[in-house]
C-alpha cells in the first residue's frame, strides 16, 4: 500500500513538465516513508503528513529537478 497519493504527485510533477514513471513514484513513496520514520528519531521536519510531504517537499524537489533538467538539455 502506498504511503503517498501517487496520482496527486504525478499530477503535480506533470504540471511542472515532468512525467514520473512507476519506478519514480515508488521511490518517492519510499522517500516519504523514510522521512516520517527517521523524523521520529531525529527532528528533520515538521512536515510529516502524506499530503503535506507531496505539496511542500516533493513539489519543491520536482520543481528543482525540472529546472535543472531543462537547463542541462539546453547545453
Considering 15-19, 28-32, 50-54, the range whose residues carry the highest mean pLDDT is 28-32
pLDDT at position 1 over 80:
no
pLDDT averaged over every residue in the chain: 79
Sequence-distant (≥ 6) Cβ neighbours of residue 56 within 8 angstroms? 47
> What pTM was computed for the model?
0.69
User: Where in the sequence is the domain holding 54, given as residue range(s)?
Assistant: 6-70
pLDDT at position 75 over 60:
no
Q: How many domains does the chain have?
A: 1
Q: What is the pLDDT of residue 66?
A: 57
- Give the residue among 3, 52, 51 at the shortest CA–CA distance from 28: 3
Instruction: Confirm whether 59 is domain-assigned.
Output: yes
Amino acid at each position: 500500500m502506498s504511503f503517498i497519493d501517487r496520482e496527486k504527485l504525478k499530477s503535480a510533477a506533470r504540471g511542472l513538465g515532468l512525467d514520473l514513471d512507476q519506478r519514480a513514484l515508488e521511490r518517492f513513496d519510499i522517500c516519504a516513508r523514510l522521512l516520517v520514520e527517521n523524523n521520529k528519531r531525529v527532528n528533520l521536519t515538521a512536515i510529516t503528513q502524506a499530503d503535506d510531504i507531496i505539496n511542500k517537499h516533493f513539489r519543491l524537489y520536482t520543481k528543482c529537478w525540472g529546472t535543472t533538467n531543462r537547463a542541462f538539455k539546453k547545453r
